[in-house]
Structure 1
Amino acid sequence: MTSPLSDMLENAEWGKFRIGDLFEKIQTIKLPFKADELPKQKTEEYTLPCLTSSFRNQGLNYFVPRKEATILKNVISIPSNSDVYRAYFQSNEFTVLSDAYAIKWNFNDIDLSPNQYLFVVQCINKVTDLSIYSYKNKLGGWNVVKNKKIHLPVKNRKIDFDFMENFIATLESERIKKLDTYLSITGLDNCILTLEEQKVLDDFDNGNIDWGEFNLEKLFGKATRGKRLKSADRIEGSLPFVTAGEAEEGVSAFIGNAVTVFSSNTTTIDMFGSAKYRNYEYGGDDHVAVVHTEKLPKHAAIFVTASIHKSSYTGKFDYGRNFYAKDADELNISLPQKNNKPNYYLMTILLSAIHKLVVKDVIGYIEKKHYKSGI
């Protein structure tokens, strides 16, 4: 049985279009800043998100002053020097800082809606966001991307904008219904804070939590390094294989090779210093260090992962200077403490509270969408 979305795609007529005929690159004022000099949170002066090649948060991880910046909105951004060349629709105000650029729709008589932009972005990603491209094998900038061709739905030999609008609206409605059902079945729709959770949140907000600095090796023993497994030697299977990178959380393949299997509830740190929590068993290559947090409660392990990431993912590590297991052993992280020991119980309560707040926001989003669509 096929879904309505599959039927829509199968029954559509498609045409091929050169990206440079549909979009043009936006010229922006070059700003006199380096990313590592900028705040990652808004300040009184630095209020405008700026675009870099980062995969995280759609490339918007720093802030610059609005003065003299080229302010953009409702356009598409694309990295020009990255490990992942994923395009995004940027619906809010931002500016371009480095290693990325923005493109806008080329025709003044037609304004693309947010849904239509979202559809086109995915079509662009089918020719740019490919695993063959990386820092070592760059996609190239606009001079390359503008000549690539994408497929778009057509009607009477013209782009079918109504199809794009309806497809995204149908997709959103379907995903919201599934999410609503999932939250209800799993019991995750319970977002009422306990008195203990509210108190821990209040203590956190008011700076009443006691923090200490701890060495990773002393907490969890020596980190373990994965082993190299070339792409050509990988056998198809069901075990997630973790490598360096942000795409798919670093899972580059599912393998059936006989490799070391790392436990769930552990933390990986890749060659760039990016830490990720793993709630499943997995294998890892030699660019991945594993911190053995498996004995911790789940929420405490997630908290530790966030603390590790804050200490390790600072821009210090790159292709020229990789993060290794020995770097994990030397890493010091900040954690809530009690009697000079990590307070894992408090971490668990705090993460449980944050989880409920996130779910509450998701439920609010679902209810808002239901109200607008009359579901």
Structure 2
Amino acid sequence: MMKLSDREWKAISITSLFSNLEAGKINNASILKKTNIGGIEYIGATNRNNGCLYFVEKDEILYSKVQKGNCIGFIKDGDGSAGYAIYKKEAFVSTVNVIYGYADWLNKYTGLFFVTTQNLIKNKYSHGYKRNYEHLKGDKVMLPVNDNGEPDYIFMEAFIKEREAEKRKEYIDYCKKQLENIGGGYNLIPLEDKEWQSFFIVDIFDNIQRGKRLKTADHLSGKVPYVSSSSLNNGVDNFVSNKKGVRRFSNCISLANSGSIGSSFYEPFEFVASDHITHLKNEEFNKYHYLFLATMTSRLSQKYNFNREINDKRISREIILLPLDDEGVPDYEYMEQYSKNSICKKIRNYLDYVLAENHS
């Protein structure tokens, strides 16, 4: 196994490594049209999801805004993200708050290595101290060097390929174990052939409670997920250690009552809940029930918006559609089996992709 400690390292000026530096070209995101099908990545000033905020339609307006992939993005701004770097393989459009570097030595593997080492200097930046061109010129990154004292890109690529192979094996083993544990393979009638009926949310969940406000300034750094109204990462917006003046929930659904209204996630872990989410719980439900039900509660997003939030009074009157069994009550066994089938199908798709890529 290759070791980082076996190499000689050197601090190298970041800008000296790139033949071209250019900023993103979108200074007004309102021109973008979001899409869930196809589209092109819109990169924002965030290190989450590799900078991708959402996908947008590639229409005539964007033709001059598209930027080539195979580059490093240096995030200029963003609370908690300033100072990070990301590697972008495919073409994209981007906010002006990210600077992109292009170089002949860049590929997926050297790019990932570079990003990991450069992120060690991210702590010098903050929302109040932005990364601009001048600051970037003064930044240095520690890189392994060859006998000539130059960046050892051959080692970087080989190192990442080795680690990737290890992770791929771990992932394949994990997926196979999950398929054994979940089972799946249930012979179910299609959703459209089931009989459905409306039910009040308060009749489905016996414990419904809103989270509690916790101002950003009062966040104490920690390892407990802080779930707010984000539509990304299961709603996790931060990690905190606050114990007083907060509400903690677990094994439930988090429903965004403002912000990304209607976003629903199954939360298997303990978390601190923002007042922007409402937790929905029933002690009789398991993971697979919650996953099915979260899909149904997420449809509430169609009737709410920024000016009309889900308050306690409104949620008491809300209904969701659920499949029925032969006795005319919610068919929870069907929901569980349907979720298991769906998860197993998705895992098999991932395995097929990974194994095919492994042999390419």
The equivalent residue for 1:116 is: 110
| Conservation of the 8 A alpha-carbon contact between 1:89 and 1:117 | yes
CA distance in 1 between counterparts of 2:92 and 2:303 reads: 23
CA distance in 1 between counterparts of 2:304 and 2:151 reads: 43
Structure 1 residue 118 displacement after superposition = 1.3
Answer yes or no: is 1:240 the counterpart of 2:206.
no
Query: Structure 1 369/325 Cα, relative in aligned 2: closer, same or farther at 3 Å?
Result: same
Aligned 1:161-310 pairs, distance under 5 A:
161-188=153-180, 193-196=185-188, 199-200=189-190, 203=191, 216-217=201-202, 219-220=204-205, 221-226=207-212, 228=214, 240-244=224-228, 249-250=236-237, 252-253=239-240, 261-267=248-254, 269=256, 272-273=259-260, 275-284=264-273, 289-308=278-297
| Conservation of the 8 A alpha-carbon contact between 1:189 and 1:363 | no
CA distance in 2 between counterparts of 1:39 and 1:121 reads: 28
The equivalent residue for 1:354 is: 342
Answer yes or no: is 1:69 the counterpart of 2:64.
yes
| Conservation of the 8 A alpha-carbon contact between 1:211 and 1:334 | no
CA distance in 1 between counterparts of 2:75 and 2:304 reads: 18
| Conservation of the 8 A alpha-carbon contact between 2:221 and 2:239 | no
Query: Structure 1 261/353 Cα, relative in aligned 2: closer, same or farther at 3 Å?
Result: same
| Conservation of the 8 A alpha-carbon contact between 1:183 and 1:189 | no
The equivalent residue for 2:86 is: 88
CA distance in 2 between counterparts of 1:314 and 1:140 reads: 40
Structure 1 residue 154 displacement after superposition = 1.7
C-alpha RMSD of matched pairs (Å): 4.5
Tell me the secondary structure at the aligned position of residue 291 of structure 2.
helix
Answer yes or no: is 1:52 the counterpart of 2:44.
yes
Structure 1 residue 298 displacement after superposition = 1.2
The C-alpha deviation readout for 1:124-161, integer Å capped at 9, x for no partner, is 33334x69846xx5744555445433222222321110
Answer yes or no: is 1:154 the counterpart of 2:145.
yes
| Conservation of the 8 A alpha-carbon contact between 2:265 and 2:294 | yes
Query: Structure 1 332/16 Cα, relative in aligned 2: closer, same or farther at 3 Å?
Result: farther
Determine which of 13, 17, 21 is the counterpart of 2:16: 21
Answer yes or no: is 1:126 the counterpart of 2:120.
yes
Query: Structure 1 190/227 Cα, relative in aligned 2: closer, same or farther at 3 Å?
Result: closer
Residue identity opposite 2:52 in structure 1: G
CA distance in 2 between counterparts of 1:131 and 1:286 reads: 32
CA distance in 1 between counterparts of 2:313 and 2:341 reads: 32
TM-score relative to the length of structure 1: 0.70
Structure 1 residue 363 displacement after superposition = 1.8
| Conservation of the 8 A alpha-carbon contact between 2:227 and 2:271 | no
Runs (5+) with no aligned partner, structure 1? none
Structure 1 residue 30 displacement after superposition = 4.8
CA distance in 2 between counterparts of 1:336 and 1:93 reads: 41
Structure 1 residue 327 displacement after superposition = 8.9
Structure 1 residue 103 displacement after superposition = 0.9
Q: Give the count of matched residue pairs.
A: 344
Residue identity opposite 1:64 in structure 2: E
Tell me the secondary structure at the aligned position of residue 34 of structure 1.
helix
CA distance in 2 between counterparts of 1:66 and 1:215 reads: 42
Structure 1 residue 115 displacement after superposition = 0.7
Structure 1 residue 113 displacement after superposition = 1.9
Residue identity opposite 1:149 in structure 2: K
CA distance in 2 between counterparts of 1:309 and 1:142 reads: 42
Structure 1 residue 173 displacement after superposition = 1.1
The equivalent residue for 1:103 is: 100
